[in-house]
Copies of this chain bind each other. A is one copy, B any other.
């Protein structure tokens, strides 16, 4: 089971490492972090560099592709090396997945035309503009494409994917091994649950504000 996780400058680190912490525990999983160019790639918050061990050109035909999100996705949407690789890899994947605004990159590659998909809640309108059927769910499965909501949703997505690949028992073992029994101190993780003042502030300062 070959898993390729895409890295790029300006990614949201957790949107890559959350799925990784789950998928790397699948029996027989062979995970590789890959980028247009191998080497360290700095995250959107600028304090952490994650290393892509290989260049996309050197990734064979992965069974699973994970595209994380983060503001760096804007440049990725115009990087033909990335878009060409995604289109080619998607032809033979078992599952093609994204977290957060990674779905905008899948859409830019033409893989989400008419496909039900989700993204960071602030990016759903942009996702629809790019041709997907935008759905405001935490994890959306349409055929072999699985997309997750913002940043942290990749953990939930990967656990679902683990169950699809190896069954519920293995997925539960992984969930227990990473002790994923969430207890957020606030009920503020979605625009439906967060206090209105918090939602408005987030919306006003978003890079998608001009769109939404």
Q: Does residue A113 face the partner (Cβ distance < 8 Å to B)?
A: no
A149: Cβ under 8 A from any B Cβ: yes
The 0/1 profile, CB within 8 Å of B marked 1, for residues 176-206 of chain A is: 1111111111101111011101110110000
- Selected contact of A175 from candidates B49, B53, B189, CB within 8 Å: B189
Decide if A48 is an interface residue (CB 8 Å cutoff): yes
Asked if B138 contacts A181 (CB within 8 A), the reply is yes
> Complex: how many Å from CA A199 to CA B175?
11
* Identical chains bound together, number: 2
Give the residue of B32, B152, B171 whose beta carbon is less than 8 angstroms from that of A180. Answer: B152
Interface centre among A48, A168, A173, A194 (most CB of B within 10 A): A48
Contact A21 B45 (CB under 8 A): yes
- A18 at the A/B interface (Cβ < 8 Å)? yes
Any chain B CB within 8 A of the CB of A125?
no
A12 within 8 A of B: yes
Inter-chain contact B149/A152, CB cutoff 8 Å: no
A94 CB-CB contact with B under 8 Å: no
Report the Cα distance A40→B21, complex, angstroms: 18
- Tell me if A145 counts as interface (CB < 8 A to partner B): no
Nearest-Cβ distance from residue A69 to partner chain B, whole angstroms: 10
A211 to chain B, nearest CB (A): 17
Given A156-B185, A159-B186, 18 further pairs, Cβ under 8 A: A13-B21, A14-B20, A20-B45, A20-B47, A33-B48, A50-B50, A153-B179, A169-B198, A171-B186, A172-B186, A175-B186, A175-B194, A176-B190, A180-B182, A180-B189, A181-B189, A181-B193, A182-B184
